[in-house]
Amino acid sequence: MEKLTVALLGGGVVGSEVARTLLADAETLAERVGTRLELTAVAVRDASRERPGIPAELLTDDPETAIRGADIVIELMGGIEPARSLILAALEGGSSVVTANKALLAQSFPELLEAADASGVRLEFEAAVAGAIPIVRPLQASLAGDRVTRVMGIVNGTTNYILDQMAREGWGFAHALRTAQELGYAEADPTADVAGLDAAAKAAIIASLAFQVPVSMDDVHVEGITGVSADMIATAEAQGFTIKLLAICERLEGENPGVSARVYPALVSREHPLAAVSGAFNAVFVEAESAGSLMFYGQGAGGAPTSSAVLGDLVSVARRKVLGGRGQAPAQIRGTGRVLPIADVDTRYQITLEVSDRPGVLLAVAEALAAEGVSVELASQTQFENPQADEPRAKLVIATHTARESALAATVENLAALDAVASVRSVLRIEGS
Ligand code: NAP
């Protein structure tokens, strides 16, 4: 084989890095693949704009023509359309596809895999989850002979940076977000990150791969970090926890089997490896029956780190083309397991209450918990200064044992209705213990 042609859709943060490396490292890549990779086009919205390191003659605003006849198409445009139609057209036309598009995969995973399978070509997407960190391949290949039971990931660097700065500097959410934006860690519109949507797309992909069940973005329970206050972080720290936005994917056995995918800010014990993941770094903690616990750590975003994962996929796909043979999509997500709603999941809560500092309050609180069958693992009470209150107040922090989420949510409602409870100051789930 004399060469393989590669069409690139997107020349932005990741695409431009991929294009430059493809051109600059052509010889090394040719040695690894066994043939030359020829970049034939870089499709962008504005082809007249100069892109450093990318020859102007490669730029085009016509992605449909760019993909025609390409051996391999790399999709780095992002978004749902036209990315979905272009990928489907490429797969149906016999091109293998490499993409980093988590939003699209979280919506159309089965459709894309089936299209790849039907054409006997490959669809690779290592960069779609946690940037440079190899997690897709471990889940679909290295651990294929094991049984993954749970995956917990810090898969959004922006929110990890914000929470980390709040804990280190004592900042409020708004100040930490502003700093993240000034430093380029957060977008001008940070909604996808801070509302947990970016992490939810990754959770959908991880759960689909780990449990071989199609899980879409709509199946993922999502809570973002906008409600996390400096006070909540201080309480967490005082109790030996750190707050992390976690994407949790779990296989649930027992009477109500199924899988769960959820994203929320959670308390993680300071002893847990995920608690040490600071700044904008990502980490994915995998628990499997035979392998035990595994942790994958590194840079989850950025042009160069993400392009590393894209180019790894490209070399793998290209090698397969050189060696010949059917290049079927290796991901199998045709299982029939149920995706459970959050209410059916077992979790632990830490509930922080502002209560009247008078006798009988603890008993009333204990009764409200017992009414839903929730037992307390730890309770601690400290004096609480509330200048607006006309009575002495206390802060009561309760950590529950594991209980059904629906019972825990009902417990919080019961507590809020008690005379002795002035306010429910925060409710956070405890994970990883
Ligand atoms: P980006 O900087 O916004 O780049 C998008 C590129 O696609 C631009 O070059 C844009 O052209 C082009 N494009 C968009 N719509 C187009 C259309 N309809 N027709 C032709 N070209 C079009 O995005 P990115 O940050 O590189 O992200 C690319 C993908 O990688 C996304 O799926 C993202 O989720 C994923 N990803 C990114 C990171 C990261 O750190 N950035 C990490 C992991 C995964 P113009 O330049 O002319 O506007």
Dihedral sign of CA atoms 20, 23, 29, 34 in order:
positive
Which amino acid, 237? Answer: E
CATH code for 345-431? 3.30.70.260
List 288's β-bridge partners, or say none.
148, 292
**Domain segments of the chain: what residues?**
3-125+303-322, 136-299, 345-431
Structure tokens at 82: 């036209």
Are 56 and 80 contacting, i.e. CB atoms less than 8 angstroms apart? no
Structure tokens at 196: 């947990």
- Kindly state if the Cβ of 82 falls inside 6 Å of ligand 1: yes
From the candidates 3, 102, 202, 244, give the one annotated as an active-site residue.
Answer: 202
User: Ligand 1 center to residue 10 CA distance, Å?
Assistant: 5
Q: How many angstroms separate the CA atoms of 267 and 188, rounded?
A: 28
Cα–Cα nearest to 400, from 418, 425, 427, 420? 427
Establish how many alpha carbons lie within 13 A of residue 191's alpha carbon, considering only the half-sphere containing its beta carbon. 1
CA Rg value for the chain: 24
Residue 290: how many other CB atoms lie within 10 Å: 8
List 263's β-bridge partners, or say none.
222, 247
User: Ligand 1 center to residue 16 CA distance, Å?
Assistant: 9
pTM surpassing 0.75? Answer: yes
Residues comprising the chain, all counted:
433
Q: How many angstroms separate the CA atoms of 137 and 193, rounded?
A: 24
Question: 3-125+303-322, which class in CATH?
Answer: alpha beta
Question: Ligand 1, residues 306, 310, 314: which to mutate, most atoms within 8 A of Cβ?
Answer: 306
Question: Ligand 1, residues 42, 46, 77: which to mutate, most atoms within 8 A of Cβ?
Answer: 77
What is the structure's pLDDT at 334?
73
Could you list the pLDDT tens digit for every one of the 433 residues in the chain? 799 999 999 999 999 999 999 999 999 999 999 999 999 999 999 999 999 999 999 999 999 999 999 999 999 999 999 999 999 999 999 999 999 999 999 999 999 999 999 999 999 999 999 999 999 999 999 999 999 999 999 999 999 999 999 999 999 999 999 999 999 889 999 999 999 999 999 999 999 999 999 999 999 999 999 999 999 999 999 999 999 999 999 999 988 899 999 999 999 999 999 999 999 999 999 999 999 999 999 999 999 999 999 999 999 999 999 998 766 555 567 777 899 999 999 999 999 999 999 999 999 999 999 999 999 999 999 999 989 999 999 999 999 999 999 999 999 999 999 999 999 999 999 998 7
Residue 114: how many other CB atoms lie within 10 Å: 16
Looking at 221-351, list the stretches that DSSP marks H as alpha helix, in order from N- to C-terminal side: 230-238, 303-323
What is the structure's pLDDT at 335?
72
**294-301 contacts: CB < 8 A, separation 24 or more?**
294/138, 296/130, 296/133, 296/134, 296/135, 296/138, 297/133, 298/130, 298/131, 298/132, 298/133, 299/131, 299/132, 299/133, 299/157, 300/130, 300/131, 300/132, 300/133, 300/155, 300/156, 300/157, 301/131, 301/157
Question: Ligand 1, residues 14, 46, 307: which to mutate, most atoms within 8 A of Cβ?
Answer: 14
DSSP SS3 for 154: strand
Inter-CA distances, 317 with 6, 90, 281, 312, Å = 11, 14, 28, 9
What is the structure's pLDDT at 336?
76
Q: How many angstroms separate the CA atoms of 26 and 384, rounded?
A: 65
Q: How many angstroms separate the CA atoms of 274 and 262, rounded?
A: 17
Residue 196: how many other CB atoms lie within 10 Å: 27
What is the structure's pLDDT at 1?
79
User: Ligand 1 center to residue 79 CA distance, Å?
Assistant: 8
Question: 136-299, which class in CATH?
Answer: alpha beta
Residue 168: how many other CB atoms lie within 10 Å: 12
- Kindly state if the Cβ of 308 falls inside 6 Å of ligand 1: no
What is the structure's pLDDT at 332?
67
User: Ligand 1 center to residue 371 CA distance, Å?
Assistant: 52
| Residue 102 designated active-site | no
